Amino acid sequence: MIKERTRALVGVTGGILLANVGSYIWFPVLVATLGGTDSGFWAGVVMCMTYVGRLLATFFYEGIAARTGVRGGVFLGTALEAVALGLMGFTDGVLAYSLLAFFIGFGSGVSFPGLKNVLVSFPEAERPRAFSAFQMAGQVGLFGGALLGGVLADVELRTLFSVVFAFFIGFCLITSALIPRGGFESAAAGGERVPLFSLTAFKGIEVRGATRYFLLSAAFWFLSLGFVVGIPLHMAEYVPQWAPSSPFWITGLSILVLQYPLFKLFNKRFGPGAVMAFGLAGMTIAFIAFGAGRTGPWVVVGCLTVVLGEILFVPSFDLWIARRVPEHRLAKAMGAMHFFRSAGNMVGSLAAGILFDLSRSLDVAGGNWYVAALLAAGCALICLSGRGSDDSDGSDESGDSGASDETEAGETEATETEAGETEATEATAKQEKVTENV
């Protein structure tokens, strides 16, 4: 049985690595290309459609997995992604790209929860290491994809997407060959037929008492996608001598090196609200650097500081939710997190393109980044203003969830908690509830 879990872990981590390599090859190049040939708006629309597809897949995932098994769902999702990406190289026009982007997102929304469900079905003591390996594989894939994207930046889109197609076929094959049909869960109880389409996840959303912070989460993902879509457009306009994916080399390597030690350092000294504020302050500095500098060295400065958002904000927000929300409401809170993240991603990708076009048409170079900097600074102030109440509320609102010191960040926290200590184990126990919602 241990050998089977090892095989499954190799399949899951190998799959996510290949997926991230493929993704970070194509999207910076396509966004930069569309920004030059069409507009920032259409580049944003194409990226937005991937998130629309991903959100819609949330309502189909449970039904698909019930009919095909976890492995079958992962196979169908990755196969759909691979076919849609392959067709990207043989089509033209933003409408066709948008339609295919929707199917890419839908495939991702079916396969990614399946990979997580395999890890969740591991024995409790093994989950922290498994999620740590999953997180690390994703970051390595991001970095590798950005590097390869730079090498392939000047080839024809047909060639580029053929390479990406090969990576996703590899993703499809390795996961299908190595993960078990239904994870390692015990036999399912009952003969209740699960509907193919279900709004259960949407109905499970609950924001009681935490609306401000869920909106803050949506704003963070709005800013994050503003960077993901805006920086390739920025590179094509102001730093054309560099590959559109080159900023992701810097961010990917920075996250790999700094994520665990930096978060651990801040988390020991400050509460979640203050740590989130530091992350947003880093993003504010980055956006100002992008707007004011508009040259290669300023891009490097911005990329080195924008990663503070992902390093500090994301796990701190998860911790804040775990401390404030009682355990019996945690699954619904995670459903709300997923919904607000998806909303922030969709609106952020669209807004990034629109703001880029506006800054060019109004002849205000870097204006889009200044708007993002203002929003990030405002969010940082909100985090600081609520810091005192967070500390006191944490003990009041989560009196029956004393074990809730960790949350879905079992992924991001597992490595720093050293070989599966008690806190990490508690975190991944809660992960089961999270994945059911997602």
Distance CA 160, CA 85 (A): 10
pLDDT higher than threshold 70 for residue 378: yes
pLDDT higher than threshold 90 for residue 253: yes
Number of H-type helices and E-type strands within the chain: 17, 1
Residue 394: band (very low, low, confident or very high) from pLDDT cuts 50, 70, 90: very low
| Contact predicate 349/27, CB 8 Å | no
pLDDT higher than threshold 50 for residue 265: yes
Distance CA 261, CA 199 (A): 39
Percent of the chain past pLDDT 90, that is, above it, reads: 58
Sign, Cα dihedral of 133, 134, 135, 139? positive
Q: Which residue has the higher pLDDT, 212 or 14?
A: 14
The pLDDT of residue 208 is 62
Residue 416: band (very low, low, confident or very high) from pLDDT cuts 50, 70, 90: very low
The pLDDT of residue 3 is 84
Tokens representing residue 170 in the block: 């590899």
| Contact predicate 204/335, CB 8 Å | yes
Q: Which residue has the higher pLDDT, 256 or 402?
A: 256
Distance CA 137, CA 367 (A): 36
Distance CA 340, CA 220 (A): 10
Give the H or E element holding residue 49: helix 40-57
Nearest to 227, CA basis, from 373, 53, 341, 362? 373
Nearest to 308, CA basis, from 348, 341, 266? 266
Residue 435: band (very low, low, confident or very high) from pLDDT cuts 50, 70, 90: very low
Sign, Cα dihedral of 215, 217, 220, 224? negative
Residue 399: band (very low, low, confident or very high) from pLDDT cuts 50, 70, 90: very low
Distance CA 344, CA 263 (A): 23
Q: Is 413 exposed, middle or buried (0-12, 13-18, 19+ CB in 10 A)?
A: buried
Give pLDDT tens digits for 55-81: 899 888 888 988 888 899 999 999 999
Other CB atoms within 10 Å distance of the CB of residue 418: 10
Nearest to 228, CA basis, from 137, 139, 349? 349
Tokens representing residue 267 in the block: 């988390």
Q: Which of helix, strand or coil describes residue 4?
A: helix
The pLDDT of residue 369 is 97
Residue 128: band (very low, low, confident or very high) from pLDDT cuts 50, 70, 90: confident
Per-chain mean pLDDT for the chain: 83
Distance CA 68, CA 123 (A): 23
Sign, Cα dihedral of 285, 291, 295, 296? positive
The pLDDT of residue 35 is 94
The pLDDT of residue 335 is 64
Residue 395: band (very low, low, confident or very high) from pLDDT cuts 50, 70, 90: very low
Q: What is the DSSP letter of 313?
A: I
Q: Is 328 exposed, middle or buried (0-12, 13-18, 19+ CB in 10 A)?
A: exposed
Q: Which residue has the higher pLDDT, 273 or 428?
A: 273
pLDDT higher than threshold 60 for residue 380: yes
pLDDT higher than threshold 80 for residue 414: no
Range ranked top by mean pLDDT from 206-215, 301-310, 316-325:
301-310
Tokens representing residue 255 in the block: 């996250």
Residue 182 pairs in a beta bridge with 184
Nearest to 234, CA basis, from 157, 291, 304? 291
Place of tokens 């300023």: 298
pLDDT higher than threshold 50 for residue 431: no
Distance CA 246, CA 148 (A): 10
Residue 390: band (very low, low, confident or very high) from pLDDT cuts 50, 70, 90: low
Residue 181 pairs in a beta bridge with 183
The pLDDT of residue 155 is 94
pTM (2 d.p.): 0.82
| Contact predicate 256/143, CB 8 Å | yes
The pLDDT of residue 330 is 61
Give pLDDT tens digits for 137-192: 999 999 999 999 999 999 999 999 999 999 999 999 999 999 887 666 654 444 56
| Contact predicate 301/289, CB 8 Å | yes
Nearest to 70, CA basis, from 15, 19, 141? 15
Distances from the Cα of 126 to the Cαs of 70, 103, 134, 327, 397, in angstroms? 19, 34, 13, 22, 30
| Residue 242 Rama label (left phi>0; alpha psi -120 to 50; beta) | beta
Distance CA 320, CA 326 (A): 12
